[in-house]
Amino acid sequence: MSDIVQQLKKLGFNEYEAKSYVALVKLGPATAYQVSKASGIPRARIYDVLNTLVEKGIVLKEEINDAARYSPLPVEIFLQKAQSEWENTYDVLNDSLRELETSANEPDNRVITLKDYQTIISYCKTLIKKAEKHIIISIWDDLYRELQDDLAEASNKVTLKGITIHVENPLNNLESHRITPFTETSSTEHWFILSIDSREMLYGPSFEERSIAFYTDDPVHIYLLEDYVWHDVLVNRLVRRSSDDLEKWITNEREAFFTKK
């Protein structure tokens, strides 16, 4: 019940309103006393809460022999009403906010911190849809699975380039990263880079470690990180083409470079 109450609160209900409606759905037609008992709402508050829901059209009230009984709006109708209201709100906000949003008011060379897993995923999907020329990525299998369908759709109209880690049969021109001690170490964070037309970019660490990412339209950031992706692709190709044991040499050189002395 608590989960349903939390979801109803996202639709604009307060705690008592949500609990009252859920109690009525379970009880069917009931008195205020019965709703109070089933929901845990104090009797001193239950009448005000139910009357508010009646005014909102969520609860139906009938008088029987000077006694009031309350019934919930049928669930199917309630859900249709909630969906319709949400869509209307979305349409109004979509039009109003887009009118307010102008590129002239946007600061140059931004680096913005994004938090929350779903927010980051939504931002990635939105950027992918905006691509007009090319998409450059460096991506591990966990995030790739989330974005695979969006990347596949985008690859029909733009060039998809970059490298994937632990991804079987990646799309189009994407490189499969070779197996290395670095990629197989459990402590290695699954950093990702997603660059759109060399104009906008998202990058960040493993979501398992922390749900955070960074958005930027700063050309210096974008150039450096795209160049990082290219160097990763290049080294991967050189190792694959070489008959020497470059992997061991690269591993030793990396350890030497990052050893703190």
CATH number for the domain that contains residue 240: 3.30.870.10
Count of helix runs (H) and strand runs (E) in the chain: 10, 9
Residue 125: pLDDT band (50, 70, 90) is very high
Span 145-170, mean pLDDT? 94
Q: Is the pLDDT of residue 58 over 90?
A: no
Residues 50 and 112 both lie in one domain: no
pLDDT of amino acid 246: 82
pLDDT of amino acid 94: 86
Closest to 239 in 3D by CA, of 188, 147, 163: 163
125 DSSP assignment: H
Residue range(s) defining the domain that contains residue 190: 107-258
Residue 252: pLDDT band (50, 70, 90) is confident
Looking at the 3D structure of the chain, how many domains does it have?
A: 2
pLDDT tens sequence across 172-210:
889 999 888 888 887 788 899 999 999 999 999 887 767
Which residue stretches of 28-116 are H helix? 32-39, 43-55, 75-100
pLDDT of amino acid 1: 67
Lowest model confidence (mean pLDDT) among 119-128, 144-153, 159-168, 239-248: 239-248
Mean pLDDT value across the chain = 87
Residues 140 and 53 both lie in one domain: no
Closest to 164 in 3D by CA, of 154, 149, 179: 179
Name the domain boundary from 75, 99, 119. Answer: 75
Tell me the CATH number at 23. Answer: 1.10.10.10
Residue 96: pLDDT band (50, 70, 90) is confident
**Among residues of the chain, what percentage have pLDDT more than 90?**
48
Residues 55 and 117 both lie in one domain: no
